[in-house]
């Protein structure tokens, strides 16, 4: 079809008052929530990542994210440094050369092979099932969409940064341009059109898998068993199941060293586990003071 033949739609020009009213009313409008769909996510097998950064490029390209400039970080081949409001995929490079034995490195749960190696991992939002960012968000901008992915509605976010403070993985960042928080959408727009996320599509080694979570978990468990059979006993899954202090992640990883080696928290903790107790202490502190004031006033008023 010719472009000119497509129906053109644009907002009518508005006056200042009309613009102001629209701005005030708009966030209170509610649309129909979409029907729930099977939960999807990422399973990232770090053992086959080659650090090509195709995922980073594909993410930037599809989501039209601006360049962050270029600096030599001095950290291996990682010049991206971290996830940010404009970098939603980040390939980490961990060099383990001449660091001594696993015992000397302080390895706890897994036995690390003592030969020199280079670990690579494509990091992204974990799309937590019980996401602290989602719990913290006071505007309702952060939602679980119909695919159970954690999604920021950019037109609602007001940049309060509660999500930034809440995320134990340091994923969400407030942008200097516009002042709103941004992170991986798990290519919501592509999923709605039946496509896989750009990063998974671009990954040449199938390190990044996308699909329904049940299938991903089965695939990941089979891979761990296979690695164990092939002499990689340290392989394990990070975030595929809930722990005592954190929910399962809808973007989980196959790792071969401690989480902290990859820049992940060893024991992620959901801050909301403390919230009720903190409220109780807060109210108790206030009531104690009011009670004391009241007693003094009543005793001394006559």
Closest approach, Cβ 270 to other proteins, in A, equals: 9
Query: CB-wise, 1 or 276, nearer to other proteins?
Result: 276
HSE-up of 80 (CA within 13 Å, CB side)? Answer: 26
Instruction: Please state the φ and ψ torsions of residue 237, each to the nearest 5 degrees.
Output: -100, 140
Kindly state whether residue 66 participates in binding other proteins, applying the rule CB under 8 A. Answer: no
239, β-bridge pairs: none
Kindly state whether residue 132 participates in binding other proteins, applying the rule CB under 8 A. Answer: yes
Q: Binding residue for other proteins (CB under 8 A) from 86, 95, 170, 236?
A: 170
Kindly state whether residue 27 participates in binding other proteins, applying the rule CB under 8 A. Answer: yes
Query: CB-wise, 135 or 247, nearer to other proteins?
Result: 135
Closest approach, Cβ 81 to other proteins, in A, equals: 12
Query: CB-wise, 61 or 282, nearer to other proteins?
Result: 282
Taking residue 221's Cβ as centre, other Cβ atoms within 10 Å add up to 13
Residue 234, judged by CB atoms within 10 A of its CB (0-12, 13-18, 19+), counts as middle
Query: CB-wise, 83 or 198, nearer to other proteins?
Result: 83
Closest approach, Cβ 24 to other proteins, in A, equals: 6
Question: CA-to-CA distance for 80 and 92, rounded, in angstroms?
Answer: 9
HSE-up of 123 (CA within 13 Å, CB side)? Answer: 25
Kindly state whether residue 15 participates in binding other proteins, applying the rule CB under 8 A. Answer: no
Question: CA-to-CA distance for 237 and 251, rounded, in angstroms?
Answer: 11
Kindly state whether residue 228 participates in binding other proteins, applying the rule CB under 8 A. Answer: no
Closest approach, Cβ 134 to other proteins, in A, equals: 9
261 CB contacts (<8 Å, ≥6 apart)? 94, 96, 119
Query: CB-wise, 124 or 164, nearer to other proteins?
Result: 164
Residue 167, judged by CB atoms within 10 A of its CB (0-12, 13-18, 19+), counts as buried
Closest approach, Cβ 190 to other proteins, in A, equals: 27
Kindly state whether residue 275 participates in binding other proteins, applying the rule CB under 8 A. Answer: yes
Using CB under 8 A as the binding rule, the residues of this chain from 171 to 200 that contact other proteins are: 172-175, 178-181
User: How many residues sit in the footprint of other proteins (CB under 8 A)?
Assistant: 64
Query: CB-wise, 127 or 180, nearer to other proteins?
Result: 180
Closest residue by Cα to residue 145 from 154, 157, 133, 153 = 153
Closest residue by Cα to residue 55 from 277, 165, 177, 210 = 210
Task: Say if CB 224 and CB 235 are below 8 A apart.
Answer: yes
Kindly state whether residue 157 participates in binding other proteins, applying the rule CB under 8 A. Answer: yes
Chain positions contacting other proteins, by CB under 8 A: 23-24, 27-28, 132, 135-141, 156-162, 164-170, 172-175, 178-181, 260, 263-266, 269, 271-272, 274-275, 277-279, 281-286, 288-290, 292-294, 296-298, 300-301
């Amino acid at each position: 079809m010719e472009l000119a033949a497509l129906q053109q739609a644009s907002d009518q020009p508005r006056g200042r008052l009309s613009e102001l009213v629209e701005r005030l009313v708009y966030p209170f409008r509610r649309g129909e929530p979409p029907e729930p769909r099977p939960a999807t996510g990422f399973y990232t097998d770090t053992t086959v990542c080659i650090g090509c950064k195709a995922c980073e490029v594909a993410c930037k390209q599809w989501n039209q994210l601006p360049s962050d400039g270029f600096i030599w970080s001095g950290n291996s081949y990682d010049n991206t440094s971290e996830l940010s409001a404009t970098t939603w995929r980040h390939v980490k490079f961990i060099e383990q050369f001449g660091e001594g034995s696993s015992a000397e490195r302080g390895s706890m749960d897994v036995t690390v092979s003592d030969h020199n190696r280079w670990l690579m991992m494509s990091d992204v939002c974990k799309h937590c099932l019980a996401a602290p960012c989602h719990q913290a968000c006071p505007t309702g901008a952060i939602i679980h969409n119909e695919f159970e992915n954690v999604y920021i509605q950019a037109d609602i976010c007001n940049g309060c940064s509660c999500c930034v403070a809440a995320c134990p993985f340091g994923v969400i960042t407030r942008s200097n341009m516009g002042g709103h928080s941004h992170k991986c959408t798990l290519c919501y727009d592509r999923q709605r059109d039946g496509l896989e996320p750009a990063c998974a599509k671009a990954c040449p080694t199938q390190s990044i898998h996308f699909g329904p979570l049940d299938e991903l978990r089965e695939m990941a468990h089979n891979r761990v068993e296979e690695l164990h059979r092939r002499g990689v006993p340290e392989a394990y899954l990070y975030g595929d199941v809930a722990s005592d202090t954190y929910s399962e992640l809808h973007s989980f990883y196959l790792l071969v060293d401690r989480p902290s080696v990859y820049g992940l928290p060893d024991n992620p903790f959901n801050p909301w586990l403390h919230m009720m107790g903190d409220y109780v202490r807060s109210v108790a502190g206030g009531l104690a003071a009011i009670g004391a004031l009241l007693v003094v006033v009543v005793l001394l008023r006559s």
